Structure 1
């Protein structure tokens, strides 16, 4: 018996794969969710990563790095209870609000390479500092060759929105970084952004130069996605 036209059309339709859903935000690091959103908290006592109420914002993260210590950082992200699997050849966007109590907060973000010592060629390919009242975005090439990619004066105790687009590649001609500040793209550059064992983000306060400073870095609206719209 000849198959009906309707049945033929339905069979063809079933063979067409469903279009994938839009990949929205990968990670939402809202402070109300607790420190389990991070892969690890790298804060030695009495340093701490806590959350507190902020008028008009609700819960925000508070990184407290006391005198005498050089680090208090949130390391990596967890999605669905497990550490996220970052990969080479992908474009990631990371966005967050930051406010520090000092003009010299040290490194507030770095795209940290996995491994130690001779296990990596770039300790941190991308790094953001607050130094002397200036927010600075650096690209660090193989061999600890630092390049100041972009900078802007900032005020302490004032919120600002920072976002980075990072295309991960160990090939300097294929990796790229986009820099966004307070809602607009302010810079972009190409270069190696993926080290031998891969990379993960860290946020907080870090650096030998801030051992004698008490640094508080408040953070809010922390997101990771695959487009700027996901984290803006």
Structure 2
């Protein structure tokens, strides 16, 4: 117990230390879109901060796209938010966010892109993009002629939790991607070019889809964070504030009134789920019909040119408390009685 108390002041510092490497948050907890640098939307009701559904905190983003939504006079229909980070080659980051596709999200053989890191140039598909086609989520690297390095089926009414680990580089021997989905490593670290030569990337999040898709599209995003360590984007441990009921003590073979010892697992460390690697998906480039569109930014825009467990207890058992108090009480009474019989002695010098 004393050791736990000594560590308590350090435990109070953990929230501050844990957030030290968070570079930026776009989690909408401001209640508006002020964390983001720019909007590309046709109307104010296309990018809404809402309080339901949410993955974490109090707010999330609801994105709506109707056929014909074209805020930048380019290919496809879209409503997106931009964060102009433009990470330098050689930098390495962890990106965390959650995306939910509601029941109404239309199934289509055409592409619908929901998160991308676009390059500085206006033309061509981005070097890193997440999109849906035929009810499959795809992560593609390298633009229209690149490779799909991971895919998974769309689950509607489900929060997809993503952690993307990237080293930015136009060199395939230097750059890499690694992907966690719903707490598991689904794409082990894979060497690949993550930038185009001479260009940097910036984040776009929302919904951007082929203009031939007619039904209204809605997606929800929440909890975006950019950090330099994995620990800063992992979910916070859940602590159960309700104490567990005491475990009945096994029948004792000792004499009545003896004190039960601690259980054998009292000092066992807590266990946690560890992400497990899965077999990497085959890397097959998509056909021309499921390639996201090429335009991404306003042409000629100069500003974009140029990225638990509860704490362990003290080890005391909840059983055996009453016998212990009884023994202590009898001992004190015995000492008091003995003290009356012992003759007074000369006072001793105090301890040093």
TM-score range, shorter chain: 0.7 to 0.9
SS in 2 for 1:38: coil
Pairwise mapping of residues 183-198 of structure 1 onto structure 2 (< 5 A)?
Answer: 183-187=183-187, 188-195=189-196, 196-198=198-200
| Aligned residue number for residue 176 of structure 1 | 176
Deviation at residue 47 of structure 1 after TM alignment: 5.8
**Aligned equivalents of 2:146 and 2:207: distance in 1?**
19
| Aligned residue number for residue 107 of structure 1 | 113
Q: Which runs of 5+ in 2 are unaligned?
A: 1-16, 70-76, 235-352
| Aligned residue number for residue 13 of structure 1 | none
Contact kept? 1:95, 1:163, Cα under 8 Å? yes
| Aligned residue number for residue 160 of structure 1 | 160
Greater relative contact order structure (CA < 8 Å, 6+ sep): 1
TM superposition score normalised by structure 1: 0.78
SS in 2 for 1:216: strand
Distance 1:210 1:129, change over 3 A: farther
| Aligned residue number for residue 33 of structure 2 | 35
Contact kept? 1:103, 1:130, Cα under 8 Å? no
| Aligned residue number for residue 230 of structure 1 | 232
**Aligned equivalents of 1:43 and 1:92: distance in 2?**
28
**Aligned equivalents of 1:185 and 1:209: distance in 2?**
33
| Equivalences, count | 200
SS in 1 for 2:59: strand
Deviation at residue 71 of structure 1 after TM alignment: 0.6
| Aligned residue number for residue 48 of structure 1 | 46
Contact kept? 2:106, 2:217, Cα under 8 Å? no
Pairwise mapping of residues 186-225 of structure 1 onto structure 2 (< 5 A)?
Answer: 186-187=186-187, 188-195=189-196, 196-208=198-210, 211-225=213-227
**Aligned equivalents of 2:179 and 2:225: distance in 1?**
15
Once superposed, what is the RMSD of the aligned Cα atoms?
2.2
SS in 2 for 1:127: strand
Distance 1:98 1:174, change over 3 A: same
Deviation at residue 228 of structure 1 after TM alignment: 2.3
Kindly indicate which of the two structures has a greater share of residues assigned to strand. 1
Deviations 1:97-138 (A, max 9, x none): 100231547101111001223xxxx64111111222221111
Pairwise mapping of residues 2-151 of structure 1 onto structure 2 (< 5 A)?
Answer: 23-33=20-30, 34-45=32-43, 48-54=46-52, 57=56, 58-69=58-69, 70-76=77-83, 84=85, 86-101=87-102, 102-104=105-107, 106-117=112-123, 123-140=125-142, 144-151=144-151
**Aligned equivalents of 1:84 and 1:213: distance in 2?**
33
Contact kept? 2:167, 2:175, Cα under 8 Å? yes
Contact kept? 2:53, 2:60, Cα under 8 Å? no
Contact kept? 1:103, 1:131, Cα under 8 Å? no
Deviations 1:129-183 (A, max 9, x none): 1222221111125xx3131111111211211101211101111111101111011
**Aligned equivalents of 1:159 and 1:165: distance in 2?**
19
TM superposition score normalised by structure 2: 0.53
**Aligned equivalents of 1:24 and 1:230: distance in 2?**
7
